[in-house]
A and B are shown apart, each in its own frame.
Chain A
Amino acid sequence: MQRKVFQLLVDNTSGVLSRIAGLFSRRGYNIESITAGVTADPRYTRITIVTSGDDEILDQIEKQVFKLIDVRDIKVLEPGNSVYRELALIKIRVSADRRQEIIALAETDNFRAKIIDVCKEALIVELTGNQDKIDTFIGLLDGYEILELARTGLAGLGRGIENVTYLP
């Protein structure tokens, strides 16, 4: 089993996300995360899918996804040659006397997170980074109660300009 990040360019039509998600579920492929958003050209949507499987499954995923009529392009975002980011919003229960501990942890250079909401019993941390960084941060919150957690899933781009798909 290995993990792979696919980047798709698809026609920005209604139902496209359900077609892709449906393909993954009916063929039994894993989706660890899926993110979608319109590109600079509003005719297209860029989708980043994090999935896992053995080599044969990953090969099939690439072929079956590309076979969907709405899919313009699919590529693998290799870790060494790509940047990935995920955004997490974490609501932590914390009393006023311990609030500074969280703020200090969040604002270290390791995390550079922001505190975007504070109330008497809790605060919300906004953290951006790769998935490991977010997992690490959550791990460090041991002893605190996480009231709510929202993660966007990974978005990614290849580095440089060699692999850019130019759209007609």
Chain B
Amino acid sequence: MTKAVSPLGEAWGQFLRNKPAVAGLALLIVIVGFVLYGHFLFNADPYRIVWGPLTAPGEREGIPLGTDFLGRDIFVLLLKGGGPTMAVGLSAALLTVVIGIAMGALAGYFGGWVDDLLMRLTEFFQVLPALLFAMVLVTLFAPSLVTISFAIGIVSWPGTARLTRAEFLRIRELEYVTAARSIGAGNSRIIWKVILPNALPPLIVSAALTVGVAILFEAGLSFLGLGDPNTISWGQMIGQNRNFLLEAWWPVAIPGLAIFFTVFAVSLVGDGLNDAFNPKLRSR
């Protein structure tokens, strides 16, 4: 007999056949490896001034990517700034997914007034201009990695909530939900153990893409000077050097490229997951 393959295992097999997605995953592994190395193993003070300000890449040996407007080594800043950037991306995405799934699941499963209430709340957060609202939150609570992640999570969950709700509305009508009820399963078991596992594929995709969006969001806030002043992040590097853009492109372009490649890799992986979970889209 054939070996039992779980639906997740099958999707993984499908994912591995998708070349852009695998390339994205490889790129992501390289970037994450670089960031982890910089955060945990690489010992150098990123704030140390190593040479004159705005030294071009390759101009001087030992400073491969040049220096920023204060003369700090961009390569070292890049290594040290990746960790906070990714931490914000991941924790904001996690918060988005947790709030979004909780709201969407309850609204979609119970319907009625619960649905009305939660959806009005979702709409309230959805119509607020996300960046402005995040800026208000960050300035209110003093910028730190935690408040920034929190602010990004708070402005991004409505999309996940709507997606979750739609999935729950569809799945709760299926016969295996009635069947689960007929063996005596209660509401919480049906929500978390019967419906949610079946609703996960689109949510995994959306969570992956949210990581990319959150990293961009953090960069945006830092660019506007609302990043955590005590922590180096890629977005902050861009923000601090933007006044010198006309004299030196590299202190802005290099962290910009780092963000670009990270988000690009995450999107490729997210798209690959989407194709892997949606066999119907595969042929297109």
A interacts with B: no
Show the binding face of B for A, using Cβ within 8 Å: none
